[in-house]
Amino acid sequence: MDDEDRVKHYIELWKQTVAVQQHFNDIEWRIRQLALTALTFALGAAAVAARERTSLVIFGMNFQLSSTLLMFGLVLWGSFYFVDQVWYHRLLIGAVRHGEELERAIQRHIPEAGLTQAITKASPYQVRIGWGSRSYTRLIHSTIKLRMFYLIGAVTLALAAIALQISG
């Protein structure tokens, strides 16, 4: 196989790899959309239960239905996190790394190639924490962004559950 055929072969492999990256990215966003729908439903159902002041007795202990619904919502939220982070995000990262390898091979013949590498380079977000001489910056990559998304939802559900249980 001559160099021209090899480059064409690499480009076809790269196109398929980008399609796989898009597929996994799309799956992750769909998971997050469903997770937000579940979070919204849990908060709404808890609000209705809180308005009605419905309570449950479980193992001799009194629990607010609103708080219980939010705890079930938290478990469901955690399952979405598991599928997103532990399952599909790892596959997306693998597809991205493979795309970067293919681009390095293509760049030996076409130096301008490098979309996957450019996206990887542009993805991190620099966060400044604190102010003045006590501040520091940190680059936040996709995995940390994903964890922050789920952490915010989990904290919201947990705090609302605690507040409703205490106030009930």
Report the candidate in 100, 88, 73 with the shortest Cα–Cα distance to residue 160.
Answer: 73
Per-residue pLDDT tens digits of the chain, which is 168 residues long: 788 888 899 999 999 999 999 999 999 999 999 999 999 999 999 999 999 888 888 888 889 999 999 999 999 999 999 999 999 999 999 999 999 999 999 999 999 999 999 999 999 999 888 887 888 888 999 999 999 999 999 999 999 999 999 987
Instruction: State the virtual CA torsion across 159, 160, 164, 165 in degrees, nearest 10.
Output: -40
Beta bridge partners of 55: 64
Query: Which sequence spans correspond to the domains of the chain?
Result: 3-167
Each residue's pLDDT tens digit, 15-47: 999 999 999 999 999 999 999 999 999 999 999
